[in-house]
Amino acid sequence: MSDPPEADGRYRAIVVGSGMAGLFAALEASALGPVLLMTKAELHEGSTRHAQGGIAAAIGPDDSTEQHLADTIAAGAGLVDEEMARILVESAPRRIRDLEQYGVSFDSAGEGRAFGREGAHRNARVLHARGDRTGAAITSALARQVERGRVVVREHTLATDVLLEDGETTGVHALDQATGAEQVFESPAVILATGGAGAAFSHTTNPPVATGDGIALAFAAGAEVCDLEFYQFHPTAFRQEGAPPFLISEALRGEGAVLRSVGGEAFMPRYHELADLAPRDVVARAMVAEMRASASDHVWLDCTALGGVDPHERFPGIAAFCRERGIDLRRDPVPVAPAAHYIMGGVRTDSWGRTTVPGLYACGEIAATGVHGANRLASNSLLETVVFAKRAVEHIASGEGGAMARCPESAAFAPAEGAPPDHATVQRLLWEHAGIERSGEGLRAGLEAVAAWGDVERGDSREGHERRWLSVFAELLLTAALRREESRGAHYRTDYPERDDERWARRQVFHRDG
């Protein structure tokens, strides 16, 4: 990739992460001056590339931002920040136009855009690109713009610390994975766009790079984190011995696909009025109940009666994946089970993407904006990345600086000093103790296991840093889940199965002790 434009390595902004949030933020910031985009893998890697669903926007003729807002709030189980959610839905039309100007071509129907419907949406408002390859289409278009030389790119470069001076951000300390050399890149503005932490679970739709890096980096720098107990498990991931837990898009159910028990019953009407299009937390728990009742590791997704849609044309990626495993969507049911998918929490940010550390911003899945509450509405995630990436860059351009106000109820947290012996140990621990169903006993057992991990040197390897970051993330999640003695959205406690608004209609915020 290209070399730094200035010999001293100073940039107007540094963006860490190359998913949709990072690419969009880097492109927008490039108008301000030299911008560095660093990623620990290849430019095209990240969770966005694997996104099959779409991007929600109330721009159809029979839709409105008020309806989109109402659906977002309803899905969030009482914890959505309405002001932030309003910014999200009202900004959608402009951000869709931005993406189109960057070369994203959304699917059409006749002379207009095609809109799909997904879980908990009461209107068809989800835009897709290349059918079920929306994420790949968007990242490819944005990456092409980046590669045209508007942004300096450092691939295989791992951010290891956010640099501070007198409490303000001054840049990033990084590791060149190819040479092992340590590097310092200077900037008064750092945007963390590193995605989520799904790779901390043994069953996940996320790629291996999703190890919670940015959450741990921001936390170590003194930024507040919140809502970490709310981890969304996507109901329909492919489940077959020897096959990866490939995402089976919710858009299939939007087109009429039906979940069935291994005995053939369409069971979702027994659990929610929206049946197969109920909120994801409801569907995932219903599937677990059905799997437990039948002693099975999956249920069936019946795609044989889609409403006039050929699944091979509408969902080419999913159809090809299934076909390779002997399944024809037009006649065969698909074995599916829930898998870790998306974290609603992360680094606490305000409406301009600011964290509680001056000069440090976050956007995309890493950011806890409050727009998702306790359970994200389908296809709001891609929208969130561009809305708040744009606002972060606008704030940097304003030169106002500063940080968001600290939460007066933020709790001090001192992470254990150890690290797991390997990645798989974390995955097994969180899937067992902090999965779809949780209990106080299991969460305490998980915390005891984390505390027992030995003090392992990070060394100068990517794997060493990731193990340490995974340890911090796991302990924060387990702690937050143990403290929240209720069930709400994606957080379900078998020992506290009811929602408790009197005690818990609030967000949990943590800061690093000391």
Q: Which residues are catalytic?
A: 280
CA distances from 376 to 4, 121, 371 (A): 38, 11, 8
User: Amino acid letter at 411?
Assistant: A
d(CA 405, CA 349): 9
CA distances from 133 to 56, 165, 257, 309, 321 (A): 15, 43, 18, 17, 12
Q: Which of 22, 135, 93 is nearest to 389 (CA)?
A: 22
* Cβ(239)–Cβ(371) below 8 Å: no
CA distances from 66 to 69, 86, 135, 274, 284 (A): 5, 8, 26, 20, 27
Task: Please say whether the dihedral angle defined by the alpha carbons of residues 216, 217, 221 and 227, taken in this order, is positive or negative.
Answer: negative
HSE value, Cβ hemisphere, 13 Å, CA-based, for 455: 1
At 26, list the tokens. 């880097």
d(CA 489, CA 499): 9
Q: Which of 342, 349, 352, 343 is nearest to 224 (CA)?
A: 349
d(CA 327, CA 56): 30
